[in-house]
Amino acid sequence: MTVGVLALQGSFNEHIAALRRLGVQSVEIRKADQLLSVSSLIIPGGESTTMAKLAEYHNLFPALRDFVKTGKPVWGTCAGLIFLADRAVGQKEGGQELVGGLDCTVHRNFFGSQIQSFEADILVPQLTSKEGGPDTYRGVFIRAPAVLDVGPDVEVLADYPVPSNKVLYSSSTVQIQEEDALPETKVIVAVKQGNLLATAFHPELTADTRWHSYFIKMTNEIEQEASSTSSSTIVS
Ligand code: GLN
- Rounded Cα distance between 152 and 102, Å, is 11
Nearest-CA residue for atom 9 of ligand 1: 142
Could you tell me which of 73, 44, 101, 35 has the C-alpha nearest to residue 220? 73
> Cα of 10 to ligand 1 centre, how many Å?
9
Does the interface ipTM go beyond 0.90?
yes
Q: What residues does ligand 1 touch, defined as CB less than 6 Å away?
A: 45-48, 78-79, 82, 108-109, 142-143, 145
Q: Is 119 in the active site?
A: no
With cut-offs at 50, 70 and 90, classify the pLDDT of residue 131: low
- Rounded Cα distance between 143 and 117, Å, is 6
Most ligand 1 atoms within 8 A of CB, residue of 42, 47, 98 to mutate: 47
- The predicted pLDDT at position 183 comes to 64
- The predicted pLDDT at position 115 comes to 85
Nearest atom in ligand 1 to 80's CA: 8
Query: In this structure, what are the phi and psi dihedrals at residue 184, rounded to the nearest 5 degrees?
Result: -80, 155
Q: What is the pLDDT of residues 47-92, one digit of tens each?
A: 999 999 999 999 999 999 999 999 999 999 999 999 999 999 876 6
Angle (nearest 5°) at CA 42 between 40 and 44: 175
Most ligand 1 atoms within 8 A of CB, residue of 9, 43, 91, 108 to mutate: 108
- Rounded Cα distance between 50 and 168, Å, is 26
- The predicted pLDDT at position 171 comes to 42
Nearest atom in ligand 1 to 50's CA: 10
Please enumerate in sequence order all residues whose Cβ is within 8 A of that of 170, keeping only pairs 6 or more positions apart, or say none: none
| Domains of the chain in sequence order | 2-235 (3.40.50.880)
Catalytic residue among 14, 15, 78, 107: 78
Q: What is the pLDDT of residues 161-209, one digit of tens each?
A: 886 555 443 444 455 445 555 567 789 999 999 999 999 999 999 999 9
- Rounded Cα distance between 2 and 35, Å, is 10
- The predicted pLDDT at position 90 comes to 77
Q: What is the pLDDT of residues 20-43, one digit of tens each?
A: 999 999 999 999 999 999 999 999
Q: Is 179 in the active site?
A: no
- The predicted pLDDT at position 169 comes to 39
Q: Is 204 in the active site?
A: yes
Could you tell me which of 144, 223, 134, 222 has the C-alpha nearest to residue 190? 144
Is the separation of the CB atoms in 81 and 11 below 8 Å?
A: no
